Amino acid sequence: MNESSHNRFVILGPPGAGKGTQGKILAETLGLRHIASGDLVRQHQANETTLGIASQTYYSMGLLVPDVITFQIVLPEVLKAADGFLLDGFPRNIHQAERLDQELKLKNLQVDLTLLITAPEEEIMHRLANRRVCPTCKRVYHKQSAAPVVDNVCDNCQVPLLQRKDDTLDAIKIRMEEYHAQTLPLAQYYRSQNKLMEVSGLGEVQDVLHRILGCLQEYQPSETFANGPGAQQPNLSLSFKKRPV
């Protein structure tokens, strides 16, 4: 085992808890490659690869892409970035986690830490139902908390915003069921290995990020921040507004 560095993260959470947003910022802050399985799948679909076409049917119905297809899409990218990654959307069940462990073990590596972003279900439904995405630049908006200047039009691209197919109510229900059936047991899988850190996803993006970085510093005070390839030192005083005491 390579015990000297802690650079291989998994981020978990219910849909809409903000793990995608946090994952991206965190990966950048820690100098890790951000690997979002949903983005990879969408890339394959856009490029109309065999895997992309195979996954399209499942995805457009709000169903999960079968593990066998996911492995072929995600694992090569994980292994390319084995020095430091943050995985978002993969693994999403214990079967996938075990396969990931096996692949990493071949390189004498392991998942170092799993971050579970939590939020109450009511808050999640509210966030997801109001989420809109720009089809061109992929920027994410929320009708209330991050609304565009002109209603339903991207600030950058001036094109109409879309609701993702998996943000419709029926699709959200399926994803919540999947969260209870798959993700929570997965969290337990990592908890039993003493690799789970739970952080509340409530509040503004910067507040949640601040919370996560605080927990990480407690967890691995020097190594987490020092060893990521290209890691930047997070400058808390510049990046974060002071919270009221």
Judged by the rule CB under 5 A, the positions of this chain that interact with Zn ion are: 134, 136-137, 154, 156-157
For Zn ion, give the closer residue by CB, 146 or 157: 157
Closer to Zn ion by CB, 156 or 232: give it: 156
Q: Please give the Cα distance from 124 to 126 (Å, whole number).
A: 5
- The 3-state DSSP class for residue 121 equals helix
Rounded least distance, CB 136 to Zn ion, Å: 5
3 conformational bin, left if phi > 0, alpha if psi -120 to 50, beta if neither: alpha
**How far is the C-alpha of 24 from the C-alpha of 26, rounded, in Å?**
6
Residues 148/141, Cβ–Cβ less than 8 Å: yes
Paired tokens of 140: 């994410």
- Closer by beta carbon to Zn ion, 137 or else 181: 137
Q: Which one, of 242, 239, 19, lies nearest residue 114 by Cα?
A: 19
What is the enclosing helix (H) or strand (E) of 116?
Answer: strand 113-118
Burial of 118 (0-12, 13-18, 19+ CB in 10 A): middle
Nearer to Zn ion, 50 or 136 (CB): 136
Q: In what order do the strands lie in the sheet with 85-88?
A: 33-36, 85-88, 8-12, 113-118, 196-200
User: Hey, what long-range contacts does 200-203 have (CB within 8 A, 24 or more apart)?
Assistant: 200/117, 200/118, 200/119, 201/13, 201/17, 201/18, 201/19, 201/22, 201/117, 201/118, 201/119, 202/119, 202/120, 202/123
Which of 152/156 has CB closer to Zn ion?
Answer: 156
Q: Which residues are identified as catalytic? A: 19, 92, 131, 164, 175
Between 157 and 197, whose beta carbon lies closer to Zn ion? Answer: 157
